[in-house]
Amino acid sequence: MTPTPSGDGIIEVSDVFKAFVTRGDRRNGRAFLALHDVNLSIARGRFVAFVGPSGCGKSTLLNMIAGLVRPTEGAVRYKGVPVSGVNTDVGYITQDDNLFPWRTLRENVEMALEFRGVPVDRRRDLALRYIGMVGLSGFDNHYPHELSGGMRKRTALVRTLIYEPDVILMDEPFGPLDAQTRVILQDELLKLWDGSGKTIVFVTHDLVEAIALSDEIALFSRAPGTIKQVYQVPLERPRDVFHIHAHPNFPEFYNRLWQDLKEEITAVELEASP
């Protein structure tokens, strides 16, 4: 059953369709339907993961919340107001860290505060405090090329957190990292988020990551994507991401989620077969 919005979420997605017209097809008026009949309500302070087959529209919906893409039909509302342009009230962390190579770690972290006109001393103090929160004290004057991949990700994370957005959008932020660094950053993310009141919307292809981090998991169907099911993650908090497989509720929930996702992946493969 397709979930319907409750009307009390910080993010409300109502009857959203999205069609893209490819450059080569503009004259013919043909379009690719990326999303259809998407309805979702995300409550304040929740950690929600999007999972689904590649190309099912997870990132497209994230971009709609950010105001980078507009629905063809339907509406995306943020705090009750339709998103009609770039949503500067949210933070957005992508797969790439997007650090400026000519700025030091501290200067990169300070950047959002600088744009907001925060005095130099105040933004420096805040930057150093956030840098310390992710274990990077002493590296504040290093440039991005002098940092490891995990350190760059930490920098990108606190650069977003420092201006305290109510909602943080994350599009496979840990995807390119090695397995060990990835789980360490998952643990750090949960510690930073716990008790903050922030809402996180997190796109991932990794079911273990989705289960370890989130309160709810929205499973997308194959393209054109819709939300097939929203699952409540049956693991209490705080979470031990290093031993998440050992939780007594993990195996059954993982298998259930995987079977539902596998149906969509298999359908994609069958449709692609000659």
Decide if pLDDT at 5 tops 50.
Answer: no
Indicate the burial class of 247 (C-beta count within 10 angstroms; 0-12, 13-18, 19 or more).
Answer: middle
Decide if pLDDT at 8 tops 80.
Answer: no
| Nearest one of 199, 192, 129 to 170, comparing CA atoms | 199
Q: What is the pLDDT of residues 164-207, one digit of tens each?
A: 899 999 999 888 788 898 999 999 999 989 988 999 999 999 99
- Quick one: average pLDDT of 207-236? 96
| Nearest one of 190, 192, 200, 205 to 242, comparing CA atoms | 190
Q: Which tops the pLDDT comparison, 27 or 78? A: 78
- Residue 216 to residues 6, 104, 126, 203, 272: CA-CA distances in angstroms? 15, 36, 32, 12, 30
Decide if pLDDT at 28 tops 80.
Answer: no
pLDDT bin (cut points 50, 70, 90) of residue 96 is confident
Q: How far apart are CA 200 and CA 28, in angstroms?
A: 40
- Could you give the residue ranges of the DSSP H alpha helices within 70-119? 105-115
The pTM score is 0.89
- Quick one: average pLDDT of 158-162? 89
- Residue 53 to residues 26, 205, 254: CA-CA distances in angstroms? 27, 8, 16
Decide if pLDDT at 146 tops 70.
Answer: yes
